[in-house]
Amino acid sequence: MADFELGGVTRTRSGSVLPGVAPSNVYPTGDGAEVVVAANADNVFARLCEAMGRSELATDPRFATHHGRGEHMAELDELVGAWTATAPCHEVLAILDAHGVPAGRIFTAPDMLTDPQYLARAMVQRLTSSQGWDVPMTGVVPRFTETPGTIRHPGPALGEHTDDVLREVLGLSRDAIEGLRSAGAVG
């Protein structure tokens, strides 16, 4: 969240594939969102095929077994992704839910910062950095009623503890640290 709000960077997925397990991946929706679908078990895959209006895929020799789906994962992911991309996220999820297919929306930082449930569960915490920035971050999980947990600070400034580490962990003297600093080895 901090990357997005303070730096304008929206992180995207970097890998969701479990080799040999298909379909179980993240797929695009027609409105630019993404959904995770976990339909690798035979009976769940059959329900996914029905939801997609492609019941014949459940008996297609390439996809009829868990092993077959794993071997043809790229092709299957393409088929599922092509289907999910035809409708907005809420419609895709409603169809999958009606067919008993485990699925969920992949939340982005903008989603988290505005989602009523996320906010009601105190999953967006804000702390002030040493630079005076209001930094949003993920709340403590799990959240307990009597001992909810807290976040003490948003983190140190870059290099804030360098001298402490060099002195306490490496046992360097002040002169040695200054020598490293003069040489440009530490900031």
pLDDT given at position 9? 81
Residues ≥6 apart with Cβ < 8 Å to 75: 62
Domain count, the chain: 3
pLDDT given at position 65? 95
Specify whether 42 is located in the same domain as 87. Answer: yes
Specify whether 59 is located in the same domain as 121. Answer: no
Say whether pLDDT at 14 is over 70.
no
Reference 37, options 121, 45, 141, 172; nearest CA is 45
Residue 16 lies in a domain: yes
Span 30-54, average pLDDT: 97
Specify whether 162 is located in the same domain as 88. Answer: no
Specify whether 126 is located in the same domain as 185. Answer: no
Distance in angstroms (rounded) separating the CA atoms of residues 64 and 42: 7
Helix (H, G, I), strand (E, B) or coil at 122: coil
The parent domain of residue 178 ranges over 157-187
Span 165-177, average pLDDT: 95
Distance in angstroms (rounded) separating the CA atoms of residues 15 and 92: 21
List the Cα angle 90/91/96 in 5-degree steps: 100
Specify whether 167 is located in the same domain as 81. Answer: no
Distance in angstroms (rounded) separating the CA atoms of residues 69 and 48: 13
Each residue of 52-84: pLDDT tens digit?
999 999 999 999 999 999 999 999 999 999 999
Residue 2 lies in a domain: no
pTM of the model: 0.72
